[in-house]
Amino acid sequence: MDDPTASVVQPPMRPTILRRHSTRGRRGVALLMTLIALVLLAALALEVAQTAVTQDRVGKNTMYDFLLKSTVDGRVHILRSALRFDQTSGENLDTEADDWAWHSHDTLSNWGERSTDPPSGEEGTVTYRNTDVKLQAWCEDERSKLNLLGLSRPEDTPERRFTRETLIRLIDEFREDYGDLDLTDSDGREMVEELEEWLRDQSDSEENPMPDVPTGRGRLQSVDDLLRVPGGRWKRSVLYDVQDPDYDPEEGDDLQAEGGDQEWSRQNGIPGLINYLTVHAESTQNAPLRININTVGKPLLRALFDSTDADLADDIIEHRREGADAEEDETSNPPDDENATGFFANKGQLTRVEGMGESLDAYERLNFFADVVSSVFSIRVQASMVTGTVNSLGELEEDEDSEGPRDVLASYQYREVVQRTDNGFLTLFVERRHDPLVEEQE
């Protein structure tokens, strides 16, 4: 019989163990919550940092955008003033040597910059420049190009026939000196046939009504619309400038221009067809589609002749530029001298060029298109923000440690086609391209 006095062995108690488990659980939860909080804080900090960077870039883009646009707007007024001044000069002709043309692009691009050599006696007077903006500004005469609207005229009109013939010749001529890029007369005929067929398909009809566009422009709102022509022949490499593999930047434009032509014409690689075509004419019904013989480029001028007489175009350009280069000598071109060189006051003066003969009747296309005045111009401005150090004179200094050009932070390109009238300017077309800052500079 068991001893009633004997001690009863109680089973071991486990409260302590439970408390330990509870404490460990709370610590684990706390640690997990802490880690979650740290992750959330890190994410929040990263988000704040990203937002700050984004806002900084947005702010810079806004600043650059404002500065570029205001600079371009100001330059547009300068270009318009140059066109207006030329109109009031008293000469009833427009030439490639006028103040608005590429020939004067350095002056047009630099007007308004701060002078490093102030006039004597005016040391306290300065003019201001856009310290961070690099500019290039000039105007183009839209009458120096072949107007494609002629292809939309009735088939029995001289505008239609001569535009078609000239366009075929132009395609054959415009890259004559560039080997593999050169197109033939047969290429030109096929391209023009495809274009005419496309224009017929795009003509006004009940199924395909004409949109509300400026008078006479039709489906061709810009030369870029040629990329829409089916067949694959009107391609970018034909329409736009392409890089010249033989061009050496250290030797300038001499490799791309013969006879000093870079002084008169903008050189940008191998020229594309877009340089010689336009769809812009006066805002009137059946506007005259003429070509200014004082501004027209060599390929288009050659296209106004048959292939057997095309070299006369070279003589015409040499004739007008010899006179322009000698303008400072008042005795070099007396007005009554029938053999005087220089720009042409009327198309009849083309007969002064040796080899042209006494009449233009032998050159149908030239006789039909030739004119000496213009009223439709493209105002063009290219502006870019660049890196660099601004000195005390407000000039951008080159980075001595960098062998290449300064980095471009943002760029803005503007083109406005205007009709110059006695009462001001009529805007016919506007296009803009703005490339903002996309990468943070070191």
Residue 321 has pLDDT above 90, yes or no: no
Range name among 204-213, 248-257, 353-362, 408-417 with the lowest pLDDT average: 248-257
Give the model's pLDDT for residue 325. Answer: 67
Distances in Å between the Cα of 393 and the Cα atoms of 119, 121, 122, 192 are 15, 18, 16, 55
pLDDT digits (tens, 9 = 90+) for 247-293: 555 554 443 444 446 677 776 688 899 999 999 999 888 889 999 99
- Are 133 and 385 in contact by the 8 Å Cβ rule? The answer is yes
Residue 403 has pLDDT above 50, yes or no: no
Give the model's pLDDT for residue 332. Answer: 42
Residue 44 has pLDDT above 50, yes or no: yes
Q: Supply the pTM of this predicted model.
A: 0.76
More reliable by pLDDT, 207 or 94: 94
Name the one residue in this structure whose structure tokens are 């007969």. 351
Residues 203-222 have a mean pLDDT of 62
**Which of 15-19, 72-76, 208-212 is the most confident on average?**
72-76
What is the three-state SS of 368-423? HHEECCCCEEEEEEEEEEECCEECCCCCEECCCCCCCCCCEEEEEEEEEEEEEECC
Residue 218 has pLDDT above 80, yes or no: no
- Are 384 and 411 in contact by the 8 Å Cβ rule? The answer is yes
Residues of the chain with pLDDT > 90, as a percent, come to 43
Q: What sign does the dihedral 266-319-379-160 (CA atoms) show?
A: negative
Helices (H) and strands (E) in the chain, counts: 8, 10
Residues whose CB falls within 8 Å of the CB of residue 61, separated by 6 or more in sequence, listed in order: 410, 436, 437
Residues 75-90 have a mean pLDDT of 90
Residues 147-151 have a mean pLDDT of 94
Residue 391 has pLDDT above 50, yes or no: no
pLDDT digits (tens, 9 = 90+) for 165-199: 999 999 999 998 888 889 999 999 999 999 999 98
Q: Which two tokens stand for residue 279?
A: 């769809």
Residues 134-156 have a mean pLDDT of 92
Residues 361-385 have a mean pLDDT of 94
Return the H-helix or E-strand segment holding 277. strand 277-278
- Are 142 and 429 in contact by the 8 Å Cβ rule? The answer is no
Residue 419 has pLDDT above 90, yes or no: yes
User: Residue 204's closest CA among 193, 215, 194?
Assistant: 215
* Boundaries of every domain in the chain: 32-75+92-110+127-141+376-442, 145-289
User: Residue 82's closest CA among 65, 102, 66?
Assistant: 102
